[in-house]
Chain A
């Protein structure tokens, strides 16, 4: 079975690197982007199994990225985890409407993030 693919989008290079390393060490394929527009382009090209995105990013915010992904029929099924330093990144209503699986706040534990990625992928596969 192919490795599951994760798209990590964050404009903080150290965050992208640490998340990518944790996931790669645990058998995931990882593609990374440092802005929202690049992340959307990679989504279309790579069709990842799950997206981990920051909220505040140049060119396109995490929220705008999610809106675009959800409005694209080819991508709208992809589960999304939001990882943000903003205390009130999205409202519960938005989270539900945009089908955001988890909204995690920074500082975060890479170990916990890995746990969330696996459980979100499992529940997504079960559907």
Chain B
């Protein structure tokens, strides 16, 4: 097939020939032939020149085309790479946001440092513990931010020793109470297995420690409280068996002691079980319309002999008004007895206990208040007295107890009867404990 670049000179030659043949020139035949040859030669030369020129141009064009192709290839390659990188950046940003969301949502304090022990990331609890502002702390050296030297040392030593995970229990002393933390330090490794950072998680176990201590104290107290009446029962039984009680009167006295101590043991076990039952919602409650004044009167009668042993006078003022509450009589009796026996326990010999039962119509409640002239409770401990197993340290020596009585009072009044408990106290002067229960309307009682 004829290549395209031959077409032009051939066309020029043919045109020249046609021109020569057709132009009406005068002259001889040879002159016309010569002109034809000249035109053809000229066309050939032009064609040759064009051919050569064209070939060079084409070569250049081909080269340019190839260059262009290569450039275009390169451009699309770098375009793809840019797209990939943009995706990777997006992915990394998303991962960072995920990590931040995870760290910020953790209630434990989290600190992340880099290979130079500078802060990379931290959450609010960490800022609160160490008193730094997150937005101003990034990339600051950790020893400038964390005031607890022991923790800074642990972070640095974990990074240098390259240990994957390490756990410590740290106690941070503060102006108030010391806090205990379970501290987990983990190293972050890069692709070359070099440590490029450290993650610190601080889990506050102060409360767990307190509960554990309270449980230990409880076991100790309960075993002591259980063993004490048991000791009387076994000792007096042995005396009876061994015939150490010579006369009828002494024997009867021993029988009575054994019976009383067995009842004391039973009451203690009941207290423990009741707290547990109320907490788990398994207790059977028999609510009926009862008078608080009557419950108080019976309880005062019961406690009088115990108070008399310490020459404590019990003065009861009960209102002669409509004071019916919808309550479980036995449970509310237990509340009053617990409060009264506590008052006797913590009041020195010769003291006084005043019991006041009244109705507050404006509030729609029946209120019972028991005031003693006892040892009182220090201000910083008063908010804890209703906690389970809690015992006022300063008063530990005054009397024995399990730390359950007041908790039981709180559970019965608030959880079972939707009432309210209250306490005021002054060290050396005495305490005032009481509770309020919602009154039943007179119409309701009449309707029944």
Taking beta carbons and an 8 Å cutoff, which residues of A are in contact with B?
A: 11-12, 14-15, 18-19, 21-22, 25, 56-61, 85-88, 105-111
Contact = CB atoms under 8 A, between A and B. Distances in A.
Nearest to B348: A58
B379 interface: no
Given A107-B235, A110-B235, 16 more contacts: A12-B228, A12-B232, A14-B235, A14-B257, A15-B228, A15-B232, A19-B235, A58-B398, A86-B220, A86-B224, A87-B220, A106-B228, A107-B230, A107-B233, A108-B234, A110-B244
B220 A108 contact: no
B234 A107 contact: yes
Interface string B223-265: 1100110111111101100101000000000000100010000
A111 B228 CA distance: 18
Contacts of A109: 234-235, 238
Q: DSSP class of B's interface residues: helix, strand, loop or mixed?
A: helix
B220 A18 contact: no
15 contacts: A11-B400, A15-B228, A19-B235, A56-B224, A56-B400, A85-B223, A86-B224, A87-B223, A106-B228, A106-B231, A107-B231, A109-B234, A109-B235, A109-B238, A111-B242
Residue with the greatest number of chain B CB neighbours at <10 A, chosen from A25, A60, A86, A106: A106
B284 interface: no
Contacts, number: 66
Contact of A111 (B224, B238, B398): B238
Contacts of B234: 107-109
Interface residues of B, number: 22
B195 to A, nearest CB: 45
B393 interface: no
Contact of A22 (B227, B244, B397): B244
Interface of A is mostly: loop
A105 B224 CA distance: 10
B227 A106 contact: yes
Given A56-B224, A85-B223, A86-B224, A18 B242 contact: no
A14 B232 contact: yes
A60 B153 CA distance: 45
Nearest to B242: A111
Contacts of B282: none
Interface in B385-418: 397-400
Nearest to A25: B244
Interface in B185-241: 220, 223-224, 227-228, 230-236, 238-239
Across chains A and B, which 7 residue pairs bring their CB atoms closest together, nearest first? A106-B231, A85-B227, A107-B234, A107-B231, A14-B232, A18-B235, A85-B224
Contact of B239 (A21, A61, A86, A88): A21
Contacts of B233: 107
Nearest to A83: B231
A109 to B, nearest CB: 6
Contacts of A56: 224, 400
A22 B398 CA distance: 28
A106 B230 CA distance: 8
Contacts of A85: 223-224, 227-228, 231
Nearest to B235: A18
Contacts of B244: 21-22, 25, 110
